[in-house]
Amino acid sequence: MVIFPNCKINLGLNIVNKRADGYHDIETIFYPLPFCDALEIITNPEHNSTATVQFSATGLKIDGAIENNLCVKAYNLLKKDFPLLPAIQMHLHKVIPMGAGLGGGSADGAFTLLLLNKKYQLNLSTAQLINYALQLGSDCPFFIINKPCFGKGRGEILEQIDLQLSAYKFVIVNPGIHINTAWAFSQITPAPPAQSLKENILRPVETWKNNLVNDFEKPVLQQYPQLQVIKDQLYNSGAAYAGMSGSGSTFFGIFKKTQTVITHFPPEYYVKEIPAL
């Protein structure tokens, strides 16, 4: 069985509070984009295999030990509660850039839960899947719903919103800079937002430039001034709104669907035009 984990962007991101457990309370709009990895899971035909999950990957190089991969962690999380879950072979084709604020790894982990639930008829509810996803990471619960949502708490308190952007398209630009999320959080002084993100997101896209704020942008742009050039060029190319997703380093521009977008980014940058959902 094959599934296609998609990425997300953040339309505004406010760091509201530092919690006693070390995490932060946020407010953000999660918006899914049809830019996807590919994940395949089959039952392992080698019944005598000592490994319960055999993981392989192609595409972008994935650093780190296999046991730390969120797809493998998702399988092991379910295996604890469903010991009859069979041994599997799992293959991930990685397309979404990593450490880029697009939530690709989180999507892979959450979609693993969704695929295993469907393939092996575990009959888990959405609420149960969200609970498992939160154990993988703060962005993971969103991908269980995978529709435009207002997110609070660590990102797991999700409220679907009616955000219609079908008249627009997105251009994402990733310069290949890996932003450490823990470092990004350490640069923020949490505070309640000056304006209501839920109200501002329902206003015309053209007003977002003055109303939507990603709290990570200021420290990240100070540390990596070349990223300001990306944002400026997106606006110079006619974007109605341009911003950074998550803790970066990916920037996105929102353009009218019929608009021809001409950009001149360095050849090593990853640039992709994506339709809105």
Residues acting as catalytic residues: 8, 139
Edge-first strand listing for the sheet containing 38-43: 2-3, 38-43, 88-94, 53-59
Instruction: Note whether 232 and 202 are within 8 A (CB).
Output: no
The single-letter DSSP state of residue 214 is B
CA distance 137 to 155: 9
CA distance 107 to 103: 6
CA distance 188 to 184: 7
Instruction: Note whether 35 and 274 are within 8 A (CB).
Output: yes
CA distance 250 to 227: 9
Q: What are phi and psi of 193, to 5 degrees?
A: -65, 150
Distance, C-alpha 230 to centroid of its chain? 20
- Measured CA angle at 139 (ends 203, 61), to 5 deg: 120
DSSP string, 156-210: TEEEE-----TTEEEEEEE-SPPPPHHHHHHT------SS-HHHHTTS-GGGHHH
